[in-house]
């Protein structure tokens, strides 16, 4: 079921419950307060600020808009877009659509998991990478495909995929 | 001298293949004195296997170049400047040349995709030069009534292109028959089926055709508001839709008293999805727009009676909307001239998998599977043996090679146990394991099931467990029968389309490839050599160079051998992880 996706066995990073809630959140709350069907845009806006949905943001939104915490949590856990844990600086999305699957996307995921020492959905201890598998990026003719942040890389295999992230890691360390 | 026009295809897959860099290079070339040309952008023309694509038009013809990276574009431009002639080596399509791309394009009939790859999707003027909004103007000029418009849609025989194939005109009639102070028109752009990307291409390439389709429907059913529910994974489509909507508002095509019709108030906004396959189901989609968990509801009442905010609502898919203006403008007879008796017009397919010419094709209904694969698709990669084609994704099934003469229309496809679906067509060859594919789709539906119905929530999970144990070599006698029984129960007892179709990929592969299931269960063999636990890894003595990489990478030290001498796999230690196979640089690990 859908809820399984957000619980990660081994999250190396602790969830900071004391995130400083900025004024940016006020803007979003003012914009959507009292509008019908506002839970998803509120959560999307929050995630755009923090990269995930901090507990403190849930509480603030609930207090100021009157939305029930349980309703918001229900929506947040239903959709794959929402994260309850902080993510790494670079998000790797390995496509596991049908076309990528038949072109051996598993080899790409396995190689990345081994290299980074994390499982699907987890973040590296240094906070540099988060590894995710996604259903379909819609670049099927370039299968297998992965996206790192906003860049798409196509026609991958286990070796070329590693090269991509090693290049990024090297640049980050400089 | 007339200037050369250079057009770069900047759809999502073009950009992924590096078209952005090619475009950047062209802007640099434009600054240099020796070049003189106009530069333009367009979207995906559907020839994805040749991305990045660049079209060069001069007074003596136009040529489409494929695989154009930063280096190649300089070569091409130099050649054009120097010789005023094409660099034929890289041309993939031209009316004047006999290129391999010719059969790819000539077999197609572009109606929904009529403007994709031909116009700049961010320019309403260019879209209007290619007949955008002409259909709505025709309705105004000829003073067609709402019923007359619906009759035209009915006459065209257009059926819902999202997959279910319900007649579009009938849907409109229902929506019109219910009255309400507010009424909604929704575009379903939550293209969740993995392996399908035609809606994305359409929205990126010709957003105005979708807007116009929705406006025509709003006029016919009396709607007051429009929503495009687009998945968040398509950022470029969302950007271009918002540009198109703003342009249409400026021209008076959206807003108040649009097209000069007193009292015709209609506006559209884009609602970003948040990632849930089940939201492709119309009642779940409505719940999601309302900001709730996207769980389906019981029908009736159908959305036509009580949909978004409990008001009458009409939902159609992106491709359906894009067909509407063409039908109104060119007449329903012309549309109905294509296709078979019960499936009229054309259908767009996303052709992917083990196919040479993967991309987007729009073909008349009634074409055969073989024609698509061999004529348009150019056959199987590396000329391997064609095994099956998967249609309809996680809700569909496969058509095996021996049924390659099956006509592509709603009813013939359904008779094979597959479904037309939204148009994902994944080609599989002899190296694809059908049990593994069934497991793959079940894994998808298990994750995506919303959890409302017991049979879908628990039944699919149990089916997945059985499939996993078959793939791991622990299959038992009776497993196939259990899968069939569970599948039947899930189909009968689920509320929405997701559950009712979830077992299809399993049932359809059992129907045509039962022998593969049996090989997994009884012989503990995977004929396609995909299921790792059923493979024996061996070193090919002739190819092994003794580089030691496999021995180094092996996690259980199951490989031994001296440097520069042939290595050996100790089967009793091997855990079949496949690391030797993926790491060998000489192809010296053979799978038995």
**Model confidence pLDDT, tens digit, residues B182-215:** 999 999 999 888 888 899 999 999 999 999 999 9
Q: Which residues of chain B form CATH 3.40.50.11540?
A: 124-335
Q: Are B13 and B64 in contact (CB under 8 A)?
A: no
- B49 closest CA partner among B95, B116, B100: B100
User: In 3-state terms, what secondary structure has residue B44?
Assistant: coil
pLDDT value of residue B101? 77
Residues of A in contact with B441 (CB under 8 A): 98
Would you say B59 and B84 are in contact if contact means Cβ atoms under 8 Å apart? no
The answer on pLDDT for A11 being more than 50 is no
Determine the Cα–Cα distance for residues B191 and B393; give it in Å rounded to an integer.
11
| β B225-230/B184-189 pair status | parallel
Could you give the CA distance from residue B105 to residue B89 in angstroms, rounded to a whole number?
Answer: 19
pLDDT at residue B171 in the model:
96
Query: Does residue A10 surpass a pLDDT of 50?
Result: no
CA atoms of B14 and B430, how far apart (whole Å): 29
Size of interface A-B (CB pairs under 8 A): 144
Spans of chain B, pLDDT less than 70? 1-2
- A2 with B447: Cβ contact below 8 A: yes
Integer CA distances (angstroms), B18 to B8, B21, B40, B70, B199, in order: 11, 6, 16, 9, 22
Is B451 close to A2, i.e. CB distance below 8 A?
yes
Q: Are B4 and B57 in contact (CB under 8 A)?
A: yes
Kindly report the backbone phi and psi dihedral angles of residue B268, in degrees, each rounded to the nearest multiple of 5, phi listed first.
-125, 140
- Cα B152 to its chain centre, rounded Å, is 28
Which ranges in chain B are annotated with CATH 3.30.70.20?
536-591
Contact B275 A37 (CB under 8 A): no
Statement: residue A3 has pLDDT above 50 = no
Tokens standing for residue A119: 């499982």
Query: 3-state class of A9 per DSSP?
Result: coil
State in words which class domain A90-173 has: alpha beta
| CATH code that applies to domain B434-521 | 1.20.1440.230
Residue B345: phi and psi, rounded to 5, are 80, -150
Domain extents in chain A: 2-78, 90-173
Q: Which helix (H) or strand (E) holds A94?
A: strand A90-95
Residue partners of B312: CB distance under 8 A and separation at least 6: B175, B178, B179, B180, B183, B184, B221, B303, B304, B305, B306
| Backbone CA torsion sign across B206, B209, B210, B215 | positive
Q: CB B13 to CB A99 under 8 A?
A: no
- pLDDT score, position A5: 46
B307, HSE (Cβ side, Cα atoms, 13 Å): 29
Cβ neighbour number for residue B61 with a 10 Å cutoff: 13
- Given this model, what pLDDT does residue B592 score? 85
What is the distance in angstroms between the Cα of B465 and the nearest Cα belonging to chain A? 14
pLDDT score, position B1: 52
The three-state secondary structure class of B270 is strand
Q: Which of A76, A75, A62, A60 is nearest to A24 (CA)?
A: A60
**Tokens 């979708």 -> residue:** B210
- Do B195 and A98 lie within an 8 Å CB cutoff? yes
pLDDT of B106: 84
Measured CA to CA, the distance from residue B255 to residue B265 in angstroms comes to: 6
Nearest-angstrom CA–CA distance, B526 and B430: 11
Torsions phi, psi for B398 (to 5 deg):
-115, 155
Q: Where in chain B is the domain with CATH 3.10.20.600?
A: 346-429
| pLDDT computed for residue B370 by the predictor | 96
Nearest Cα to B470, choosing from B512, B388, B533?
B533
Topology of domain B536-591, per CATH? Alpha-Beta Plaits (3.30.70)
A94 vs B contacts (CB less than 8 Å)? none
DSSP 3-state assignment of B248?
helix
The CATH code of domain B4-97 reads 3.40.30.10
B307: nearest Cα among B287, B332, B331, B321: B287
Instruction: Enumerate chain A positions whose Cβ falls within 8 A of a Cβ in B.
Output: 1-5, 36-41, 43-44, 74-75, 78-82, 96-99, 101-103, 107, 111, 134-143, 145, 152-154, 158
| pLDDT computed for residue A85 by the predictor | 85
Percent of chain B with pLDDT over 70: 100
Show the CA angle centred on residue B425, arms to residues B322 and B533, nearest 5°: 150
For an interface test with A, give the residue of B92, B353, B583, B586 to mutate (most A CBs within 10 A): B353
Multiple choice CATH, B346-429, 1.10.3720.10, 3.30.450.20, 3.30.390.30, 3.10.20.600: 3.10.20.600
Q: Which residues pair with B368 in a beta bridge?
A: B407
pLDDT exceeds 60 at position A14 = no
What's the order of all strands across the beta sheet hosting B225-230?
B267-272, B225-230, B184-189, B313-317
CATH architecture entry for B124-335: 3-Layer(aba) Sandwich (3.40)
- Give B249-279 pLDDT, tens digit per residue: 999 999 999 999 999 999 999 999 988 999 9
């Amino acid at each position: 079921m859908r809820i399984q996706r957000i619980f990660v066995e081994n999250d190396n990073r602790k969830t900071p419950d004391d995130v400083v809630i900025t004024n940016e959140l006020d803007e979003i709350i003012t914009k959507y307060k009292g509008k019908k069907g506002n839970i998803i845009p509120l959560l999307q806006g929050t995630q755009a600020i923090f990269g995930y949905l901090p507990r403190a943001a849930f509480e603030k939104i609930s207090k100021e808009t009157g939305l029930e915490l349980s309703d918001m949590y229900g929506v947040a856990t239903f959709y794959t877009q929402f994260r309850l844990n902080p993510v790494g600086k670079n998000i790797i999305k390995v496509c596991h659509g049908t076309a990528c699957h038949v072109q051996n996307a598993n080899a790409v995921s396995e190689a990345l998991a081994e290299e980074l020492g994390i499982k699907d959905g987890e973040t590296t201890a240094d906070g540099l990478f988060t590894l995710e598998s996604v259903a379909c990026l819609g670049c099927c003719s370039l299968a297998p495909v992965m996206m790192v942040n906003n860049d798409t890389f196509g026609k991958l295999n286990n070796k070329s995929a590693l090269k991509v992230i090693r290049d990024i890691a090297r640049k980050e360390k400089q | 001298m007339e200037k050369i026009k250079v057009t770069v295809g900047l759809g999502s897959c073009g950009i992924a293949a590096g078209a952005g860099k090619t475009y950047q290079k062209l802007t640099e070339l434009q600054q240099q004195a020796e070049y003189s040309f106009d530069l333009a952008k367009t979207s995906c023309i559907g020839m994805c296997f040749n991305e990045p694509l660049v079209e060069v038009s001069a007074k003596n013809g136009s040529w489409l170049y494929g695989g154009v990276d930063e280096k190649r574009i300089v070569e091409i431009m130099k050649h054009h400047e120097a010789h005023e002639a094409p660099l034929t080596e890289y041309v993939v399509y031209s009316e004047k040349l006999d290129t391999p791309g010719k059969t790819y394009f000539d077999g197609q009939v572009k109606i929904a995709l009529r403007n994709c790859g031909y116009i700049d999707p961010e320019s309403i003027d260019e879209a209007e030069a290619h007949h955008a909004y002409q259909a709505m103007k025709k309705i105004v000029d000829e003073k067609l009534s709402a019923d007359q418009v619906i009759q035209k849609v009915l006459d065209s025989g257009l059926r819902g292109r999202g997959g279910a194939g319900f007649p579009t005109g009938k849907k409109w009639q229902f929506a019109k028959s219910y009255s309400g102070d507010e009424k909604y028109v929704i575009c379903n752009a939550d293209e969740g089926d993995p392996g399908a990307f035609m809606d994305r291409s359409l929205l990126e390439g010709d957003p105005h055709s979708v807007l116009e389709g929705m406006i025509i429907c709003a006029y016919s059913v009396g709607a007051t508001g429009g929503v495009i529910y687009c998945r968040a994974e398509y950022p470029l489509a969302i950007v271009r839709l918002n540009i198109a909507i703003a342009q249409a508002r400026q021209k008076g095509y959206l807003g108040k008293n649009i097209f000069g019709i007193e009292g015709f108030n209609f506006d559209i906004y884009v609602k970003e999805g948040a990632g849930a396959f089940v939201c492709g189901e119309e009642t779940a989609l409505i719940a999601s727009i309302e900001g709730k968990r996207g769980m389906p509801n019981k029908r009736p009442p159908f959305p036509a009676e009580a949909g978004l905010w409990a008001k009458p609502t009409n939902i159609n898919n992106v491709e359906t909307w894009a067909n509407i203006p063409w039908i109104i403008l060119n007449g329903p007879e012309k549309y109905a001239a294509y296709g078979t008796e019960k499936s009229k017009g054309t259908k767009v397919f996303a052709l992917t998998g083990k196919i040479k010419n993967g991309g987007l094709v729009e073909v008349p209904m009634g074409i055969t599977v073989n024609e698509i694969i061999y004529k348009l698709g150019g056959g199987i990669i590396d000329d391997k043996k064609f095994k099956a084609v998967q249609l309809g994704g996680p809700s569909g099934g496969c058509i095996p090679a021996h049924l390659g003469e099956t006509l592509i229309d709603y009813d013939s496809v359904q008779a094979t146990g597959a479904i037309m679906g939204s148009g994902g067509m994944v080609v599989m060859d002899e190296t694809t394991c059908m049990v593994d594919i069934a497991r793959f789709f079940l894994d998808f539906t298990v994750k995506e099931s919303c959890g409302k119905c017991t049979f879908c929530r628990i039944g699919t999970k149990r089916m997945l467990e059985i499939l996993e144990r078959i793939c791991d070599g622990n299959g038992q006698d009776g497993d196939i029968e259990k899968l069939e029984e569970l599948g039947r129960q899930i189909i009968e007892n689920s509320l929405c389309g997701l559950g009712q179709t979830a077992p299809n990929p399993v049932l359809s592969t059992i129907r045509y490839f039962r022998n593969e299931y049996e090989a997994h269960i009884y012989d503990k063999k995977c004929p396609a050599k995909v299921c790792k636990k059923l493979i024996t890894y061996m070193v090919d003595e002739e190819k092994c160079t003794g580089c030691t990489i496999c021995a180094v990478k092996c996690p259980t030290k199951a490989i031994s051998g001296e440097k520069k001498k042939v290595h050996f796999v100790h089967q009793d230690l091997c855990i079949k992880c496949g690391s030797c196979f993926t790491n060998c640089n000489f192809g010296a690990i053979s799978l038995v």
